[in-house]
Amino acid sequence: MDIHEYQAKEILSGFGVEVPPGALAYSPEQAAYRARELGGEKWVVKAQVHTGGRGKAGGVKLCGSDSEIFDACEDMFGRKLVTHQTGPEGKGVYRVYVEAGVQIEREIYLGLVLDRSSQRVMIVASAEGGMEIEEISAERPDSIVRATVEPAVGLREFQAREIAFALGLMPSLVQQMVRTLQGCYRAFTELDATMVEINPLVVTGDGRILALDAKMSFDDNALFRRPQISELRDKSQEDPRESRAADRGLSYVGLDGNIGCIVNGAGLAMATMDTIMLSGGAPANFLDIGGGASPERVAKAFRLVLSDAKVQAVLVNIFAGINRCDWVAEGVVQALRELQVDIPVVVRLAGTNVEEGQKILAQSGLPVIRASNLMEAAQRVVGAWKNDVAQATEVRAAQ
C-alpha cells in the first residue's frame, strides 16, 4: 500500500527525520491561506498523487505570491496527472501540499528497500539527489552507496556514519545524517514498510538536513496489525478493480488485455497468463481466489472480472488441493445464472473432487467450454474470443 507525501513526512517526522513546515489544502483558496499561515516569501505547491515524476508532469510548482499559488492549484485540481509511472490514464489530483520554500545547498538521494538476495533491509544513497534512482544508476553508478543492515542489531551508529562520510557530508552534518538514517530505518522496520524513499534529502543554507520529498510503501499483509497505517489508504489513487477485490479478500491486478483469468495460486496465475499470451491472447487481469474458495467466493470473483468492460472472454483455471472442484463448479454455475454472461467462458478443473465438478458443469445446461489441461484451456478461450470478435465484426458490417 502506498501513501501520500504529506503522510510519509508526518510519519518520518515522528521518528526524528526533519521536514520543512507544510500544510494540506483541498482548494486553491485554502492553499493560499495555508501559505500565509506558513509565512515566508516562497512556497512549493505539490500535487498529492501516488506516483513519481510529478515535477516533470507539472505537479510541483514554486510560487512567490497568493495569485501564483491560486493559479498553480487551479491548474492541478481535478486534472489527471500523467507521469511515466502512471501510464496514459494518469492519477487524479484532489489535494495539494503547500510547503515553505528552503534554500538548497545540496541534494542527496536516500532509499531503504528490502533486498531479497541478502534478505536484509538495504540502504541506497547517492550524492546525486533530485534524480530517479534508475537515472542515477545509469548516469552516475559510482555515486551510489549501498549498505545492508543486520536485523539482529539494527542500524548501528557507526554504519550510519560510514554512509554519511561516503556521501561527502561535512563533519558538522554527520550527526544529523545519522539521526535521519536511524529514523528512516526505525520507521521502516517498526511499521512493516517495504520502501522508504527521500528524494531529495537536502542540505540547506543554514546547515540543516531536511526531507524535501518522501515516499513510503507498506506490506498489505501486515496492515491488520497496523491500523494507523491502514487508515492512510487513499482509494482514489488505486485501480478501482483492485480496490474492490481487496475489499472482498481477493488478490487482483488489472492488466490491459481482454481475457479475464480466475485462478487459484499465484504461480498458476502466472502460468495461465503466459499460456494465454503464447496462444495469441492477452490477459485482462491476474486474479487469485486463494485456497478454500467457496461457491460464493468464486461468484464474487466472476462479478469482479466481468465488471471490467474490456473483458471479452473468461478462463477459469483451478488446480484443487485445499480447494474443491465441485465448489468451484457451483460458483461458476451460480455466477453465470445470476449475471447472464454473454461472453465465452472456459473452465479447466483438476484435483480434488474433479469428477463431481465436471458433472455439475455438464448438468447445468450452461454454455461452458470445458478443457482438460492448461494449454487446451488457453487455446479454447483465445479461439472462442477470436470467433466472437469475428462474428461481431460481421454483424456490424451487415448493418
Q: Check if the beta carbon of residue 318 is closer than 8 Å to that of residue 350.
A: yes
First to last CA, the chain: 48
Cα-flanking dihedrals φ and ψ of residue 248, to 5°?
A: -110, 10
Question: Can you tell me the distance from the alpha carbon of 42 to that of 61, in angstroms, rounded to the nearest whole number?
Answer: 11
Number of H helices, E strands in the chain: 13, 18
Which candidate, 344, 333, 325, places its Cα nearest to that of 366?
333
* 252 flagged as catalytic: no
d(CA 252, CA 243): 9
Mapping DSSP to helix (H, G, I), strand (E, B) and coil, where does residue 12 land?
helix
Separation CA 44–CA 202 (nearest Å): 15
Is there a binding annotation on residue 107?
yes
Closest C-alpha among 116, 148, 113, 118 to residue 133: 113
Kindly name the residue from 6, 97, 109, 252 that is annotated as catalytic: 109
Whole-number CA gyration radius for the chain? 26
Q: Is 221 annotated as a binding residue?
A: no
Ligand-binding annotation for 115, yes or no, is: no
| 264 annotated to a ligand binding site | yes
- Smallest CA-to-CA distance from 200 within 110, 265, 272 is with 110
Q: Give percent helix, percent strand, percent coil of the chain, each to the nearest 5.
A: 40, 25, 35
DSSP H helices, 154-195, are 157-166, 171-190
Q: Which of 6, 185, 197, 242 is catalytic?
A: 197
Quote the CA–CA distance of 160 and 179 in Å, as a whole number.
8
Does 46 appear as a known binding residue?
yes
Residue 78 annotated as part of some ligand binding site: no
What DSSP letter does each residue of 290-352 carry, written as one string? -SS--HHHHHHHHHHHHTSTT--EEEEEEEESSS-HHHHHHHHHHHHHHHT--S-EEEEEEET
Say whether 185 is catalytic. Answer: no
Which positions make up the binding site for ATP?
Answer: 46, 53-55, 99, 102, 107
Detail the residues annotated as belonging to a binding site for Mg(2+): 199, 213
| Annotated binding-site residue numbers for substrate | 264
Going by the annotation, the residues of the binding site are: 46, 53-55, 99, 102, 107, 199, 213, 264
Residues annotated as part of the active site: 109, 197
